[in-house]
Structure 1
Amino acid sequence: MTAESNADPAAVPNLRGMAGGTWTILIVLLLLLAATLLIAVVGWSLASGTDVPASGYVALAIGVIFSLAVGFGLMGLVFYSSRKGYDEPPVLLPPETPGGN
């Protein structure tokens, strides 16, 4: 038996039961993907024979390094806050009584 045969039938997506809005979103996203790929191919073919100066490569390297540093830093903060318990839901403390009890 496979894991799919043991799955809850309600959890398995049914393509025939998808609403019209779901199909619309799916079609729009696929059209956007196709348009992006078309623009990438046209842009790549139009840029043949052009040279990138050394300053362009330096800017590209700095951008990649900066983006990686931000990504690593944010992921580190996510793991740090998860391990230290900062992601736990807040707990309501009872009000203190005037007698110090």
Structure 2
Amino acid sequence: MKTGSIVLCALAVLAAVGGLSAYIWVAMGDVTISWMGLLAMGLGVVFSLGLGIGLMALVYFSNKHGYDDEAGHR
């Protein structure tokens, strides 16, 4: 029951953020982004994805090879 309520709350927050984002997108009207803005946004997305994928790969590698097995066992 506790897990279900947490999932339901997370979905409600996700729906609220999605609705607010859609409202703001429509309210902005005809906003144009220059090619430099699109380039900066694209590079930011690629950098963020690369960082996230790299860090998750390090977590997986560390777990697979047992580097964290002794952490916190003092």
Give TM class, smaller chain: 0.5 to 0.7
1:27-48 C-alpha deviation (Å, 9 max, x unpaired): 8653x44432332121111123
Distance 1:83 1:27 in 2: 33
C-alpha deviation, 1:52, in angstroms: 0.9
Hey, what does 1:45 align to over in structure 2?
26
Distance 2:9 2:62 in 1: 37
Match for residue 80 of structure 1 among 42, 61, 67: 61
Taking only the aligned residue pairs, the percentage that are identical comes to 31
Q: CA RMSD in A?
A: 2.9
Runs (4 or more) in structure 1 with deviation over 2 Å come to 25-30, 32-35, 89-92
Q: State the TM-score, normalized to the length of structure 2.
A: 0.68
Query: Is the helix fraction higher in 1 or 2?
Result: 2
Gaps of 5+ in 2: none
Figure out how many residues of one structure are paired with residues of the other and give that number.
71
- Select the structure of larger CA radius of gyration: 1
Structure 1 position 58 matched with structure 2 position 34: no
**Higher relative contact order (Cα pairs below 8 Å, separated by 6+ residues):** 2
Q: State the TM-score, normalized to the length of structure 1.
A: 0.53
The one-letter code of the counterpart of 1:73 is G
